[in-house]
Structure 1
Amino acid sequence: MENPPYLRLVNEIAVQFTHRPFEESAEVVAAHVRKFWDPRMRGQLMAHAVAGGEGLHPIAVRAAELLQQQTVR
């Protein structure tokens, strides 16, 4: 089975920030996703992370958690 597009995209973004501290990287990725992604794709990412995050880069998992926290507020 092929990975969904959001998985590839968020992992590609996450890898670009591995040189930064982990939490800072996650915040930057979350900000990018919040600003540029369609709400449906954001929702798919957050649901994927909640379901275990299989295939997600650790930075992407944390970014999804941050998005989820900001959505709940």
Structure 2
Amino acid sequence: MQDKLIRMATQMADFFRSQPDEPPAQAVAAHINDSWSPQMRKDFLAQISAGAEADPIVRDAASFIRPPKVASES
């Protein structure tokens, strides 16, 4: 079964796929960057990097998602 974060991102992809204003991958990433906690973004990016099965828009969105800052980067 897909992880909850991948499912959530897929639901966003389904929505933004039909919106003409912005490329869907960038819209998904913007929503994730604005709404998800750093830990959620970290977990999501780790899953994508590990090869989790995901919608192509979700995979493309990963390249636009801001990775959380490491404590030493503050």
TM-score by length of 1: 0.76
- Is 1:46–1:65's contact at 8 Å kept on the other side of the alignment? no
Between structure 1 and structure 2, the one with the greater Rg is 2
Letter in 1 for 2:25: A
TM-score by length of 2: 0.75
CA shift at 1:19, angstroms? 2.5
Gaps in structure 2 of 5+ consecutive residues:
68-74
Q: Find the partner of 1:66 among 53, 64, 73.
A: 64
CA shift at 1:66, angstroms? 1.6
Q: Aligned pair in 2 of structure 1 residues 53, 4: CA closer, same or farther (>3 Å)?
A: closer
Give the 3-state SS of the residue equivalent to 1:16 in structure 2: helix
> 2: distance between equivalents of 1:49 and 1:3?
11
CA shift at 1:8, angstroms? 1.1
Greater fraction helix: 1
Aligned residue number for residue 14 of structure 2: 15
> 2: distance between equivalents of 1:3 and 1:25?
21
Provide the aligned length of Structure 1 versus Structure 2.
67
CA shift at 1:49, angstroms? 1.2
Q: RMSD across aligned C-alpha pairs, in angstroms?
A: 2.1
Regions of 4+ moved over 6 Å: none
Gaps in structure 1 of 5+ consecutive residues:
none
